[in-house]
Amino acid sequence: MVTSRIDRALLAANWPNLRSADHIKFQKDDVLLVCGGFEDRVMSVLNIASNSNVSDITVLDFEYAPAVEFNLFPEIRELCNKAGWNHIRIEYDRCNPSGIASRVLENLPPDAKRLFVDISGMSRLLIVQLIVGLLELDTTAPSISILYTEAISYPPTESEAHTKLESHANDSAAILSFISAGVYDLAIVPELSSVNINRAPVRLIAFPSFNPTQLLSAKSIVQPAKTTFIHGIPPNPELQWRTNAIRTLNQITDEIESQNIKICTLDYSACLKKLLLLYDEWAEFYNLVVSPTGSKMQTVAVGIFRSFVSDVQIVYPTPLRFTSPTAHTHGAKQVYVLDLDEFRKLRNSYECSADVDHIENCK
């Protein structure tokens, strides 16, 4: 039986829009959370900030371990030194990722006014961990905004994907991969573990990707009774072939249409709404498990969702290795911003109301 209805309060609330970040002017005491991956768009927000000619900025820089060749950590360090910014390195061990939000909070300057989280180079698990941890802060903490940069091109090309898929059709034993390959382990961190202890069957909500091993790993370990797939549809019509290619790669059929949901990869609100509706429908009957391997903005939706419903388990199939940087996105296009303060206020106000009700019931 579901006892908390904070999910319905969130569903009924007005949510902030994802907007162009062109209006943002970085200021004194701003804090940037960045991750120096190897994609071009990793540097976009930092370059915009450097053009603001503000020296009193703190950059919290996640450096992955084990290290991935071609990551742009040296470039970030050089830019920060040249701009006169306070540059703080925070190691993020992909093989031992627990507690990263607490380490961020430990390194936040006491006079921080605004916190910008640039997710462009971050792993999906890191995005969820940060959002869940930051939304737990009270309203006296710095304002929180997500920044996300679109890439210009998203490999593989349509012809490359079709060529590989055709070869796969002739060798059913082969496991194809494009962006990443294999799975190191299924990461289950304490801060994203479910508090639900009933013995109901498991329902997995999965976001298929170009690494089919991620879905195979999640299903083999979680052993769900049912699986619902959320398929991402790119906003660019020229890239929408990717949806069916990923479905084919993951061998997902249309046998049960209700288990196949299509949502725009850039529309966090559509994804968040669908997660809440699925929760409202199924949480009484299943232990819900979410594997966030979709787009970056869909992962933001998972983070917000998990911030409000603690009886949902998050699992993440950590990629074993990444392909060459040439097989990843190139260029940088539009930068978007999503303010999270309204979500934090709603969460805090609901918790305060729940505390008052608890006190009244105990009298």
Domains of the chain, residue spans: 14-152+328-362, 158-326
Q: Mean pLDDT over residues 161-169, rounded?
A: 80
**Would you say the CATH fold of 158-326 matches that of 14-152+328-362?**
yes
Element (H, E) at 111: none
User: How many angstroms separate the CA atoms of 239 and 248, rounded?
Assistant: 16
Structure confidence at residue 178 (pLDDT): 57
What are the tokens at 258?
């209700």
Determine how β-strand 313-314 pairs with β-strand 287-291: parallel
Lowest mean pLDDT among 36-45, 75-84, 339-348: 36-45
User: How many angstroms separate the CA atoms of 265 and 243, rounded?
Assistant: 10
Where does the pLDDT of residue 173 fall: very low under 50, low under 70, confident under 90, or very high at 90 and above? very low
Contact yes or no for 149/44 (Cβ under 8 A)? yes
Contact yes or no for 285/200 (Cβ under 8 A)? yes
Higher pLDDT, 195 or 265: 265
Choices 3.40.50, 1.10.1060, 3.20.20, 1.10.287: CATH for 158-326 = 3.40.50
For residue 239, pLDDT beyond 80 = yes
Where does the pLDDT of residue 318 fall: very low under 50, low under 70, confident under 90, or very high at 90 and above? confident
**Angle of the 100-107 helix axis to the 124-134 helix axis, nearest 10:** 60
- Integer-rounded Cα radius of gyration of the chain: 20
User: How many angstroms separate the CA atoms of 113 and 92, rounded?
Assistant: 24
What are the tokens at 312?
């949902």
Structure confidence at residue 328 (pLDDT): 72
With tokens 């061998």, the residue in question is 251
* CATH fold group of domain 14-152+328-362: Rossmann fold (3.40.50)
Tell me which residue of 197, 205, 270, 196 sits closest to 4, measured CA to CA. 196
Tell me which residue of 60, 25, 56, 32 sits closest to 46, measured CA to CA. 32
Where does the pLDDT of residue 324 fall: very low under 50, low under 70, confident under 90, or very high at 90 and above? low
Lowest mean pLDDT among 68-77, 116-125, 248-257, 287-296: 248-257
pLDDT in tens, 266-280: 999 999 999 999 999
Structure confidence at residue 2 (pLDDT): 43
Higher pLDDT, 173 or 212: 212
User: How many angstroms separate the CA atoms of 184 and 318, rounded?
Assistant: 6
